[in-house]
Amino acid sequence: MSPHDETADPLQPHSHDPNPAPPSTDPAFELVLPDGRSQTITVHDLQQLPTTSVPNCYIVSTGHGTSGPFTFTGATLLDFVRHYCPEPWSQVEVISTDGFGNRVLAVELYQPDPAGPIVLAYQMDGQPLTREQGLVRLIVPSERDDALRQVKWVGMVKVVGD
Protein backbone atom coordinates (compact mmCIF):
# COMPACT_ATOMS: atom_id res chain seq x y z
CA MET A 1 0.00 0.00 0.00
CA SER A 2 1.36 3.44 -0.85
CA PRO A 3 1.44 6.25 1.72
CA HIS A 4 -1.30 7.89 -0.33
CA ASP A 5 -3.64 4.95 0.23
CA GLU A 6 -2.98 4.99 3.95
CA THR A 7 -4.03 8.62 4.27
CA ALA A 8 -7.31 7.91 2.47
CA ASP A 9 -8.80 6.80 5.80
CA PRO A 10 -9.16 9.86 8.05
CA LEU A 11 -9.17 7.58 11.11
CA GLN A 12 -5.70 6.23 10.36
CA PRO A 13 -2.96 8.13 12.19
CA HIS A 14 -1.65 10.87 9.94
CA SER A 15 0.64 13.82 10.41
CA HIS A 16 -1.27 16.62 11.99
CA ASP A 17 -0.75 19.95 13.70
CA PRO A 18 -2.68 19.80 16.94
CA ASN A 19 -5.59 22.16 17.31
CA PRO A 20 -4.86 24.33 20.34
CA ALA A 21 -8.39 25.14 21.49
CA PRO A 22 -11.48 23.09 22.31
CA PRO A 23 -14.13 23.18 19.58
CA SER A 24 -16.95 23.76 22.11
CA THR A 25 -17.47 24.05 25.86
CA ASP A 26 -19.68 20.98 26.47
CA PRO A 27 -17.76 17.72 27.12
CA ALA A 28 -20.81 15.49 26.46
CA PHE A 29 -20.47 13.30 23.38
CA GLU A 30 -22.61 11.15 21.12
CA LEU A 31 -22.57 7.36 21.22
CA VAL A 32 -23.72 5.59 18.04
CA LEU A 33 -24.38 1.85 18.21
CA PRO A 34 -24.16 -0.63 15.29
CA ASP A 35 -27.93 -0.60 14.78
CA GLY A 36 -27.88 3.19 14.38
CA ARG A 37 -29.32 4.07 17.79
CA SER A 38 -27.58 7.04 19.39
CA GLN A 39 -27.52 8.71 22.78
CA THR A 40 -25.67 11.47 24.59
CA ILE A 41 -23.00 10.43 27.12
CA THR A 42 -21.94 12.83 29.86
CA VAL A 43 -18.90 12.82 32.12
CA HIS A 44 -21.30 11.81 34.89
CA ASP A 45 -22.28 8.73 32.87
CA LEU A 46 -18.60 7.75 32.50
CA GLN A 47 -18.11 8.18 36.24
CA GLN A 48 -20.74 5.48 36.89
CA LEU A 49 -18.53 2.88 35.17
CA PRO A 50 -15.60 1.17 36.96
CA THR A 51 -12.76 3.65 37.52
CA THR A 52 -9.42 2.79 35.92
CA SER A 53 -6.15 4.69 36.41
CA VAL A 54 -3.23 4.29 34.02
CA PRO A 55 0.13 5.61 35.26
CA ASN A 56 3.16 6.48 33.14
CA CYS A 57 1.30 7.91 30.17
CA TYR A 58 3.18 10.26 27.84
CA ILE A 59 1.90 12.61 25.18
CA VAL A 60 4.75 12.37 22.71
CA SER A 61 4.99 14.77 19.83
CA THR A 62 8.09 14.93 17.65
CA GLY A 63 6.99 18.41 16.60
CA HIS A 64 6.46 20.02 19.97
CA GLY A 65 8.03 17.85 22.64
CA THR A 66 6.98 15.21 25.14
CA SER A 67 4.83 15.83 28.18
CA GLY A 68 4.32 13.48 31.10
CA PRO A 69 4.44 11.07 32.76
CA PHE A 70 0.77 11.50 33.63
CA THR A 71 -1.69 9.24 35.40
CA PHE A 72 -4.91 9.32 33.41
CA THR A 73 -8.12 8.11 35.05
CA GLY A 74 -11.44 7.25 33.48
CA ALA A 75 -13.47 4.37 32.09
CA THR A 76 -11.74 1.81 29.92
CA LEU A 77 -13.08 1.87 26.38
CA LEU A 78 -13.81 -1.84 26.83
CA ASP A 79 -15.95 -1.29 29.94
CA PHE A 80 -17.72 1.56 28.13
CA VAL A 81 -18.54 -0.44 25.00
CA ARG A 82 -19.55 -3.54 26.94
CA HIS A 83 -21.87 -1.47 29.12
CA TYR A 84 -23.65 0.36 26.32
CA CYS A 85 -23.47 -1.99 23.32
CA PRO A 86 -25.42 -5.27 23.58
CA GLU A 87 -24.66 -6.23 19.97
CA PRO A 88 -21.57 -7.91 18.51
CA TRP A 89 -18.93 -5.34 17.56
CA SER A 90 -15.50 -5.33 15.97
CA GLN A 91 -14.17 -1.76 16.11
CA VAL A 92 -14.76 1.59 17.73
CA GLU A 93 -14.32 4.95 16.01
CA VAL A 94 -13.46 7.78 18.40
CA ILE A 95 -13.82 11.18 16.75
CA SER A 96 -13.44 14.69 18.10
CA THR A 97 -15.62 17.60 17.13
CA ASP A 98 -12.62 19.22 15.43
CA GLY A 99 -12.41 16.24 13.07
CA PHE A 100 -9.49 14.38 14.64
CA GLY A 101 -10.17 10.68 14.92
CA ASN A 102 -8.89 7.24 15.73
CA ARG A 103 -10.04 3.70 15.05
CA VAL A 104 -9.64 1.15 17.85
CA LEU A 105 -9.90 -2.56 17.10
CA ALA A 106 -11.65 -4.97 19.47
CA VAL A 107 -8.43 -6.99 19.81
CA GLU A 108 -6.65 -3.91 21.23
CA LEU A 109 -9.28 -3.77 23.98
CA TYR A 110 -9.45 -7.48 24.74
CA GLN A 111 -5.64 -7.88 24.68
CA PRO A 112 -4.41 -4.59 26.15
CA ASP A 113 -0.83 -3.51 25.59
CA PRO A 114 1.49 -3.88 28.64
CA ALA A 115 1.60 -0.06 28.75
CA GLY A 116 -2.04 -0.10 29.88
CA PRO A 117 -5.64 -0.22 28.70
CA ILE A 118 -7.19 2.37 26.40
CA VAL A 119 -9.35 4.74 28.45
CA LEU A 120 -11.86 7.54 28.05
CA ALA A 121 -10.16 9.86 30.55
CA TYR A 122 -11.79 12.54 32.68
CA GLN A 123 -8.98 12.99 35.23
CA MET A 124 -5.25 13.64 34.99
CA ASP A 125 -2.96 13.22 38.01
CA GLY A 126 -5.99 13.02 40.30
CA GLN A 127 -7.52 16.31 39.13
CA PRO A 128 -10.50 16.70 36.80
CA LEU A 129 -9.34 17.20 33.22
CA THR A 130 -10.24 20.67 32.05
CA ARG A 131 -11.94 21.16 28.70
CA GLU A 132 -8.71 22.84 27.50
CA GLN A 133 -6.77 19.69 28.47
CA GLY A 134 -9.08 17.57 26.35
CA LEU A 135 -12.07 16.48 28.46
CA VAL A 136 -13.14 13.77 27.49
CA ARG A 137 -9.83 12.48 26.15
CA LEU A 138 -9.03 9.09 24.61
CA ILE A 139 -5.75 7.82 26.05
CA VAL A 140 -3.88 5.05 24.22
CA PRO A 141 -0.96 4.26 26.57
CA SER A 142 0.91 2.17 23.97
CA GLU A 143 1.12 5.06 21.50
CA ARG A 144 4.45 6.83 22.00
CA ASP A 145 4.91 8.30 18.54
CA ASP A 146 3.22 11.55 17.52
CA ALA A 147 0.27 11.56 19.94
CA LEU A 148 -1.93 10.81 16.94
CA ARG A 149 -4.19 8.50 18.95
CA GLN A 150 -4.56 10.71 22.05
CA VAL A 151 -7.86 12.24 20.90
CA LYS A 152 -8.90 15.34 22.84
CA TRP A 153 -12.52 16.58 23.03
CA VAL A 154 -14.17 13.28 22.06
CA GLY A 155 -17.35 14.22 20.22
CA MET A 156 -18.55 10.87 18.94
CA VAL A 157 -17.92 7.22 19.75
CA LYS A 158 -19.23 5.01 16.96
CA VAL A 159 -19.31 1.30 17.65
CA VAL A 160 -18.98 -0.72 14.43
CA GLY A 161 -20.68 -4.11 14.23
CA ASP A 162 -19.15 -7.41 13.19
Ligand X SMILES: Nc1nc2c(c(=O)[nH]1)N[C@H]1C(S)=C(S)[C@@H](COP(=O)(O)O)O[C@H]1N2
**Residues of this chain, 85-144, that bind ligand X according to CB under 6 A:** 96, 98, 100
Task: Pick from 54, 92, 151, 159 the residue near ligand X by CB under 6 A.
Answer: 151
Q: Per-residue b/e over 76-90, b at no fewer than 16 CB within 10 Å?
A: bbbbbbeebbeeebe
Measured between alpha carbons, how far is 74 from 89 in angstroms, rounded to an integer? Answer: 22
Measured between alpha carbons, how far is 53 from 72 in angstroms, rounded to an integer? Answer: 6
**Residue 50: exposed, middle, or buried by beta-carbon count in 10 A (0-12, 13-18, 19+)?**
exposed
Q: How far is the CB of 46 from ligand X (least distance, A)?
A: 17
Task: Pick from 48, 67, 90, 130 the residue near ligand X by CB under 6 A.
Answer: 67
Task: Pick from 31, 46, 57, 59 the residue near ligand X by CB under 6 A.
Answer: 59
Q: How far is the CB of 72 from Mo ion (least distance, A)?
A: 17
Cis, bond preceding 140 (omega within 30 deg of 0): no
Closer of 61 and 71 to ligand X (Cβ): 61
Which letter does DSSP use for residue 146 in this model? Answer: S
Count interface residues toward ligand X (CB under 6 A): 16
- Contact set with ligand X (CB under 6 A): 16, 18-19, 59, 61, 67, 96, 98, 100, 146-148, 150-153
Binding site for Mo ion (CB under 5 A): 61, 146-147
